[in-house]
A = this chain, B = another copy of it.
C-alpha cells in the first residue's frame, strides 16, 4: 500500500481551520481541430471522470483557488477564470460519493466515514480559457488520468459536473455573442478560417466567410500578417494576430458587440 498517499492526505484531515467548507470546480476549455475541449481527470481505480477542483483556503479568495487549480492541471500560470455558478443542491454529490471513498480506501488511504472531504459541499464553478497546445495536462496524487475531452463526446461524470460543464458552455456562448473571444483560445497566429470556425463552434451557427471577415475587420480586432500557412494542396491562408488594444477595449466596455 502506498504510504505516500496517506502522508499527503493526513495534513488535511483536520482541515476545518485552513479550508472553507467549499470547493471550486473549474471547467478548463481548450480549442483544437474545430472542436471545443474540456480538461477532465479520473482517479485511479475509478470509472467516473471529474472536473479539476480544489478547496478554498481561508487565506485566499475563491478566484485565487480556482486559478491554483488551473495552474496545477495545465502548468499555465496567471490564467484568468470567470465564475459560472454556485452548485449547492443538497444532494449534488449523491452520484459517486461512496464510490470515491471506496476507491481511495482500495488504495490503502485510511479515511474515516465522516471525512470532511465528503461532506455535502457547496461548490463554486469557474471556467478558464486556455490555448490547447500550451497546456501540459498534469495529474496529482489521486488523479491517474488527465486529458482533454471533446464537449460533444463527454464521458460519464461524477456528481453534478455534467451540469457545471453545460452551464459553462452556455456562458461561453453568451460571452461570444457580446464580447470578442479567441485571444485566450487560439494560438498567437491564426488564419481567418480558424477564427471563423471557432466562432461557429462556440455559437453553434454558420457564418458566411465574406461577412465574417468584414465584421472582424470593421471591429478592428485582428491584424493581417504578411505570412501564410501552408496547410494542403490549395491556396495558403494568411496569418492574423489579435489587435490586443482594440480587443481589450471591446472587452472592457459595458456596451456590447453583437453576433
Q: Assess whether A58 is in contact with B254, with CB atoms less than 8 Å apart.
A: no
Q: Assess whether B63 is in contact with A88, with CB atoms less than 8 Å apart.
A: yes
The yes or no answer to A224 lying at the interface (CB within 8 A) is: no
Q: Assess whether B59 is in contact with A88, with CB atoms less than 8 Å apart.
A: no
Partner of A83 from the list B85, B90, B174, B177 (CB cut-off 8 Å) is B85
Q: Assess whether A56 is in contact with B170, with CB atoms less than 8 Å apart.
A: no
Q: Which of A70-122 contact B (CB under 8 A)?
A: 83, 85-86, 88-90, 120, 122
Q: Assess whether B60 is in contact with A174, with CB atoms less than 8 Å apart.
A: no
Q: Assess whether A256 is in contact with B61, with CB atoms less than 8 Å apart.
A: no
Q: Assess whether A90 is in contact with B59, with CB atoms less than 8 Å apart.
A: yes
Other 10 A-B pairs with CB < 8 A, given A20-B122, A58-B90: A20-B88, A56-B88, A60-B90, A61-B88, A63-B88, A86-B86, A86-B124, A177-B255, A177-B256, A256-B256
Docked pose: A170 CA to B252 CA in angstroms: 12
Q: Assess whether A170 is in contact with B254, with CB atoms less than 8 Å apart.
A: yes
Number of interface residues of A (CB under 8 A): 28
The yes or no answer to A218 lying at the interface (CB within 8 A) is: no
Give me the 10 closest cross-chain CB pairs, A-B, nearest first: A62-B88, A61-B88, A21-B21, A62-B86, A258-B258, A59-B90, A177-B256, A61-B89, A20-B122, A86-B124
Q: List 29 A-B contacts (CB under 8 A).
A: A20-B21, A20-B22, A20-B88, A21-B22, A22-B22, A22-B122, A56-B88, A58-B90, A58-B120, A60-B88, A60-B90, A61-B89, A61-B90, A62-B86, A62-B88, A62-B122, A63-B86, A63-B88, A83-B83, A83-B85, A86-B124, A173-B254, A174-B254, A174-B256, A177-B178, A177-B254, A178-B256, A256-B258, A258-B258
Docked pose: A157 CA to B88 CA in angstroms: 28
Docked pose: A83 CA to B120 CA in angstroms: 21
Docked pose: A61 CA to B163 CA in angstroms: 15
Residues in B with CB closer than 8 Å to A62 are: 86, 88, 122
Docked pose: A90 CA to B58 CA in angstroms: 7
Docked pose: A120 CA to B174 CA in angstroms: 34
Docked pose: A174 CA to B256 CA in angstroms: 8
CB nearest to A21 among chain B residues = B21
Docked pose: A22 CA to B258 CA in angstroms: 37
Residues in B with CB closer than 8 Å to A60 are: 88, 90
